[in-house]
Amino acid sequence: MKILQVTPFFKPLWESGGVARVAYDISHTLHESGHDVTVYTTNRSIYPSDLPTNRRVDVDGMNVYYFENLRKYCPMEAAPVLPYYMPAVARREMNQFDLVHIHDHRTMLTVIASHYARKCGVPYVLQAHGALPQDTGSRRMKRLFDQLWSKEVILGASGVIALNETEAECYRALGVAEEKNAIFPNGNDPAEHSDLPARGRFRAAWGIDGAARVVLYLGRLDPTKGIDLLIRSFAEVAREFDDAVLMLVGGDMGHNDEFRQRVRSLNLDDRVVFTGFVSKEDKMAAYTDADVFVTPSFTGFPMTFLEACLCGTPIVTTGQGDLLEWVDNTVGFTTEYTPEAFAGAIGRLLDDDVLRARFGEQAKELVRTRYNWQAIVRDIEGFYADVANKGRDRSLPAGAGSGLPGQNL
């Protein structure tokens, strides 16, 4: 099949979050399976990049367009992704594809790609990656986007991909027919991490004693992730374990000053380490050196959970946001969203070497057998084929579909 993948960010912009990683892994696995893959994405997320823009380049055998992102000129904290040159390319190329897979539904890439897919009669699959609810992140921007475009984008899809049953129910509530709905979890490639870093490397780099008990958070340092709850929970953990250290690994999303102030107010300056964004190699070293991996709140299916499992690091999370049923009492604990409950689960793991080891081995086995990309993408391929066959029968004739406000597409 000739497949177009549309994603706000792509390799090497890993700092943008899990969507870039998932879009790359799916795309590359499809390419390795013999499909002709093209990617529409942008050149900038949080940090500047020197990627070639507005032209096709080869990335690991795939055709990739890094469209110049006008977001960098916007002073807004949650500025939209604005690929001004994308319509020219989409207008020229869209009818070449058998299917389009759109990642993350509230972007201008999504609006442009879905418009041209409908106009050219090309079926598209939409994957929201846990972002359907309006009650997280920039609610005002989400409400505005939804009023303008979301219904058309979502209901115009020939198929949708949910990461879990919670997200599938969100699609149903928006009016997506049951036969269009499919659930596919995120995955990982165990072979890619066959040589994990030796334990102690990350600790040594940050001056942490080899015998200390390390609690790790890795991801965007954003209030929606429950960082404030984590810091308050760690204050209780620190009172019980005088050698415990909390490592906050991830890029500053504009809230680090308030998080540091919370740390200071709890007298935890010497017990909490902010590392900033780290490389892929250092990230895996951080998982390996951690005793417990924590994420208070999430939506969708975080890649960080699978990466922690690959390294045999048990997980503590909560039922705030989405819920992954395979975590609790298998690879870690799912608790109530309170400092007391979260701290209690962390403390239980830090205090029980045997339990940590058991959860760690079960976590490794789960990734090897259930959550590997080869198996998941085989299922996605089957869904693609079904959507492509049915979607072209249902597609609007050429020229149908509405345009974008203020643009002659």
In angstroms, what is the C-alpha Rg of the chain?
Answer: 22
Q: Which residue has the higher pLDDT, 399 or 109?
A: 109
pLDDT tens column, 53-82: 999 999 999 999 999 987 655 544 444 578
Residues 6+ apart with CB under 8 A from 7: 19, 20, 23, 39, 40, 41, 103, 104, 109
Give tens-digit pLDDT for 109-148: 999 999 999 999 999 999 999 888 765 556 676 777 777 7
pTM: 0.77
CATH code that applies to domain 191-369: 3.40.50.2000
Mean per-residue pLDDT over the chain, rounded: 89
User: What CATH number does the domain located at 2-187+372-394 have?
Assistant: 3.40.50.2000
Q: Where are the domains of the chain?
A: 2-187+372-394, 191-369
DSSP assignments along 262-311, one per residue: HHHHTT-TTTEEEEES--HHHHHHHHHH-SEEEES-B-S--HHHHHHHHT
330's enclosing H/E stretch is none
Asked if residue 154 lies in contact with residue 171, where contact means CB atoms within 8 angstroms, the answer is yes
The reply to whether 2-187+372-394 and 191-369 are identical in fold is: yes
Q: pLDDT digit string (tens) for 175-212?
A: 999 999 999 999 988 777 778 899 999 999 999 999 99
The per-residue pLDDT for 71 is 60
Please tell me the number of Cα atoms within 13 Å of 333 on its side-chain side: 17
Q: What are phi and psi of 46, to 5 degrees?
A: -95, -40
Q: From residue 408, give the alpha-carbon distance in Å to each of 88, 91, 257, 352.
A: 11, 11, 43, 63
At residue 43, does pLDDT exceed 80? yes
In DSSP notation, 100-157 reads: EEEE-SSSHHHHHHHHHHHHHT--EEEE-TT---SSSS-HHHHHHHIIIIIHHHHHT-
- Token output for 30: 């499809």
pLDDT at residue 321, as a whole number = 79
User: What does the pLDDT look like over 291-345, one tens digit per residue?
Assistant: 999 999 998 899 999 999 999 999 999 988 788 899 999 999 999 999 999 999 9
Q: What is the DSSP letter of 80?
A: P
CB 67 within 8 A of CB 10: no
Query: How much is the average pLDDT of 382-390?
Result: 94
Q: Record the tokens describing residue 287, joined without a space.
A: 């998982």
